[in-house]
Amino acid sequence: MKQAPEYVAGHGLLKGKSVLITAAAGAGIGFAAARRAAEEGCRALMISDIHPRRLDEAVTRLRAETGLEQVYGQICDVTNQQDVSTLVQLAESKLAGIDVLINNAGLGGQKNVVDMSDNEWSTVLDITLTGTFRMIREILPHMQARGHGVIVNNASVLGWRAQKEQAHYAAAKAGVMALTRCSALEAAEHGVRINAVSPSIALHDFLKKASSEELLNQLASKEAFGRAAEVWEVANVMMFLASDYSSYMAGEVVSVSSQQA
C-alpha cells in the first residue's frame, strides 16, 4: 500500500487541554502535531522554534487553518537554558498552565564515526537529548505541583537499531528513550505521565535537506507499506499519548513504524 490513507478527522482527544510543542514551525512532525492538537480540540496552543519568520508563519497558518484563536509562538533554542526557562514561564502564563508538552526538537545528519568531529557529535546530542532533558526539568515542577500533566518525547527507531553514519543521532535518540523511562517513574508519583513515540521514517522538507535522496528512498522501500509515513501519521500517535486514552501508560516508547523496530 504505497498510497497514504486519507487524513483522519479530529475526535476531541485534547478537548479543554493546553499544549506546548517545541520545534513546531515548518512542515515537519512538530507542525503536524500542532495542527492535530488544534483539531483535537485543545483550548490553547504555543509552539516554539529557532526561526522567527518561519515561526510567525506557522502561527498564522495554524490560526487560519484550524480556527483556534489562542495560538502563540515563542523563539526558543533548547540548547540555551535561559530560552527554555523563558519559554516555559511564558507558556504557563499564556496558556493558563501547560497540560501537554511535546518535545520535538532534534537534529540529525550523516557522518561516519571516524570523520565526526567533537562539535558535530556534541551539537546533535545537545539539541536532541539534552534539549529534551532541559524541557522536562523545567516543566515538571509546574505539572507536579498541579498533580497532572503529560509529556510526549520524540525518539526514533534508531534508538533501537543500527544504521551507518547515524552514530550521533542514534545515541541521542537512545538517550531520549532512557530519559523517558527513568523520568516517567519519577513523574508518575505526582500524577504526571511521560512517554515517547519512535518513528522510523516520516518525510518532510527538513529531513530531505539533512539526508540524501538515495538514503531516504532506500529506507522508505524497506517499510512494509512501501512508503515513508506522513508526518501527521506520527502526530496521530502523539495525540493518543497526550490524551486520556493512554492514561495507564508511563515510560513507554511506542514505535510508529511499519516494520520491526
Note whether residue 62 is domain-resident. Answer: yes
CATH of the domain at 203: 3.40.50.720
Number of folded domains that form the chain: 1
Note whether residue 114 is domain-resident. Answer: yes
Cell (9 digits) for 141: 515542577
List, for residues 96-149, the tens digit of each pLDDT value: 999 999 999 999 999 999 999 999 999 999 999 999 999 999 999 999 999 999
Q: Is the pLDDT of residue 212 over 90?
A: no
Report CA Rg, the chain: 17
Q: Is the pLDDT of residue 166 over 70?
A: yes
Note whether residue 214 is domain-resident. Answer: yes
**pLDDT over 90 percentage in the chain:** 84
Check residues 217 and 161 and name the one with the higher pLDDT.
Answer: 161
Verify whether residue 72 is a known catalytic residue.
Answer: no
Band of residue 53 on the pLDDT scale cut at 50, 70, 90: very high
- Assign 3-class secondary structure to the chain: CCCCCCCCCCCCCCCCCEEEECCCCCCCHHHHHHHHHHHCCCCEEEEEECCHHHHHHHHHHHHHHHCCCCEEEEECCCCCHHHHHHHHHHHHHHCCCCCEEEECCCCCCCCCHHHCCHHHHHHHHHHHHHHHHHHHHHHHHHHHHHCCEEEEEECCHHHCCCCCCCHHHHHHHHHHHHHHHHHHHHHHCCCEEEEEEEECCECCHHHHHHCCHHHHHHHHHHCCCCCCECHHHHHHHHHHHHCHHHCCCCCCEEEECCCCC
Q: Is 163 left (phi over 0), alpha (psi -120 to 50) or beta?
A: beta
Q: What is the pLDDT of residue 221?
A: 74
Give mean pLDDT, residues 155-171. Answer: 95
- Angle of the 81-94 helix axis to the 131-146 helix axis, nearest 10: 30
Residue tagged 518532510 (cell numbers): 204
Note whether residue 172 is domain-resident. Answer: yes
Q: Is the pLDDT of residue 150 over 90?
A: yes
**Which of 141-145, 197-201, 235-239 bottoms out in mean pLDDT, i.e. has the lowest?**
197-201
Q: What is the pLDDT of residue 138?
A: 98
Q: Is the pLDDT of residue 10 over 90?
A: yes
Note whether residue 11 is domain-resident. Answer: no
Dihedrals phi, psi of 174, to nearest 5 degrees: -65, -35
Catalytic option among 7, 72, 169, 248? 169
What domain range is 91 assigned to?
Answer: 18-256
Nearest to 147 by CA among 185, 181, 101, 193: 193
Note whether residue 105 is domain-resident. Answer: yes
Band of residue 211 on the pLDDT scale cut at 50, 70, 90: low
Q: Is the pLDDT of residue 1 over 60?
A: no
Note whether residue 4 is domain-resident. Answer: no
Share the mean pLDDT of the chain.
Answer: 93
Q: Is the pLDDT of residue 85 over 70?
A: yes
Band of residue 156 on the pLDDT scale cut at 50, 70, 90: very high
Note whether residue 6 is domain-resident. Answer: no
Cell (9 digits) for 48: 516554539
pTM of the model: 0.94
Band of residue 205 on the pLDDT scale cut at 50, 70, 90: low
Q: What is the pLDDT of residue 228?
A: 87
